[in-house]
Amino acid sequence: MNTRHTRPFLILETGQPVASMRRHRGFPHWIRVAAGLDADEAVVVNVEAGEALPAREGFAGTIITGSAAMVTERRDWSERSAHWLRDAAQEGMPLFGICYGHQLLAHALGGEVGVNPTGREMGTIDLQLHPHADEDPLFKGLPAQFAAQATHLQTVLRAPLGATVLAKSSQDDCHAFRWGERAWGVQFHPEFSATHMRGYVHARRDALHGEGRCAKSLARAVSATPHARRVLRRFVRHARGLHGH
């Protein structure tokens, strides 16, 4: 028997995939599928397009998408979203930021976002969990090192005061953090399949070439990332559990 969940998840859409990947639809669809949410279990608000942020009541939690925008540009829609997220976090709403969403959440809570000093991080990467991640609801029991998909130029240079940094990579010291008991940010993309990741590598091939990197080699190294996807699904289960669902 299917269980019906009365509270949907809110997905804040902060950007669109690269043009060549839009035939696979947008980030909210990728996230919903990866998270195991039915169509009626998610409400999408396109904040980048100027759609109004809703009242926070009635949602199981909020997921913030990635974007080609930069948090440091301080766009009006982004700053409005940051204020909304700060209040939501302080009120105890379950939050999960992905890539841009991770950086936006860090910014909203007083952290520092800027250009990654190590340059572009792209492809299937190795995440290393800190030992205390084994006490975290989303990361406990996962391997100490596992694969994840990543594509970003900016990063969380300094996590918000009081946040717990949970994971790092060779290029990024803050690949995941938790603030309080209900707010998480992940720099990696748990919603990306290998197809999505290869598409992004191909779309960025000229930029990669300019940086002295080989897109074909990066694309060949792309693999599935089931543990990264588990983190997103665990957020959904955890948020529902907080509401007794």
pLDDT tens-digit series, residues 60-111: 999 999 999 999 999 999 999 999 999 999 999 999 999 999 999 999 999 9
70, 19, 204, 13 alpha-carbon torsion, rounded to 10°: 30
99 is catalytic: yes
Q: Would you call 83 helix, strand, or coil by DSSP?
A: helix
Q: What is the pLDDT of residues 51-60, one digit of tens each?
A: 999 999 999 9
From 174, 191, 196, 238, the catalytic residue: 191
Query: What pLDDT score does 2 carry?
Result: 47
Residue 243, phi then psi, degrees to nearest 5: -100, 5
Active site annotation includes 29: no
Q: Give the mean model confidence (pLDDT) for residues 184-199.
A: 97
Q: What is the pLDDT of residue 243?
A: 76
The residue annotated as part of the active site, out of 99, 107, 196, 227, is 99
Beta strands (DSSP E) in 35-153 are 42-46, 61-64, 95-98, 112-115, 121-129, 145-152
What SS3 class is residue 57?
A: coil
pLDDT band of 1, cuts 50, 70, 90? very low
Q: Give tens-digit pLDDT for 80-92.
A: 999 999 999 999 9
Question: Can you tell me the distance from the alpha carbon of 227 to that of 129, in angstroms, rounded to the nearest whole number?
Answer: 12
CB 51 within 8 A of CB 45: yes
Could you read off the pLDDT of 157-181 as tens digits, one per residue? 999 999 999 999 999 999 999 999 9
Mean pLDDT of the chain: 95
Q: Verify whether residue 191 is a known catalytic residue.
A: yes
Task: Output the CA torsion sign for 31, 13, 153, 213.
Answer: positive
Question: From the candidates 107, 189, 227, 238, which is the catalytic residue?
Answer: 189
Give the model confidence (pLDDT) of 111-125 as tens digits. Answer: 999 999 999 999 999
Reduced to 3 states (helix: H, G, I; strand: E, B; else coil), residue 174 is: coil
Residue 36 confidence class, pLDDT cut points 50, 70, 90:
very high
> Does the pLDDT of residue 245 top 70, yes or no?
no
> Helix (H, G, I), strand (E, B), or coil: what is residue 107?
helix
Tell me the pLDDT band of 4, cut-offs 50, 70 and 90. Answer: low
- More confident of the two residues 149 and 5: 149
d(CA 242, CA 3): 16
Q: Is the pLDDT of residue 3 over 70?
A: no
- The secondary structure element, H or E, covering residue 10 is strand 9-13
pLDDT confidence of residue 6: 80
Q: pTM of whole model > 0.75?
A: yes
Query: Alpha helix locations (H) across the chain?
Result: 27-35, 76-90, 100-108, 194-203, 205-210, 215-220, 226-242
